[in-house]
Structure 1
């Protein structure tokens, strides 16, 4: 298992858990829905790559990139580091590792 798959699983779990926490703390159904969908998509993509599907990490990179842009807009609007800043930092790191894995293969 390469590092790109590991970080994709981790970021997918982080997005999923973040959506659940957003729902618990703020009763935000949007957080629950978006966190669940994006988290499961990234986890599915990592699992697909693990099973030998070459498009898996590309899907994970695409969804992660969308989340980074979304959270950048959210950070600019709210100016609150949590959770947007944390998701941006982990998202950029995840994206860098995944893109490196895509081009290394």
Structure 2
């Protein structure tokens, strides 16, 4: 059960870090804002999963799914592995861990 929480927290931290790096390298305020919001939502979801709130796992799955779709489209558009490819792969791994947690909870 804790592996899903750790994956959620790690992906949230990675989203925030990526947003900061995108802002520093490309002066992209969109990267900073979207990375911060999605990362904070994931950290928020991880915290409430630790508190035993079942809706937090649903929030984490939704936010991660949206990020995977966004980064997959960005990868198709730019054909650059960094950061879109890495975030897509890590997001799919995170989703796999979360969905496994849902199956185990049933």
Q: TM-score range by the shorter chain?
A: over 0.9
* Runs of 4+ deviating beyond 3 Å: none
Superposed CA offset, 1:35-70 (max 9, x none): 000000011001011011111111101100000000
Q: Specify the alignment match of 1:60 in structure 2.
A: 60
Unaligned 5+ segments in structure 2 are none
1:69-84 matches, cutoff 5 A:
69-84=69-84
Calculate the aligned-residue CA RMSD, in Å: 0.8
TM-score of the two chains, using structure 1 as the length reference: 0.98
Q: Distance in 1 between matches of 2:57 and 2:102?
A: 7
Where do residues 5-44 of structure 1 align in structure 2 (5 Å cutoff)? 5-44=5-44
More helix by share: 2
Aligned residue pair count: 105
SS in 2 for 1:52: coil
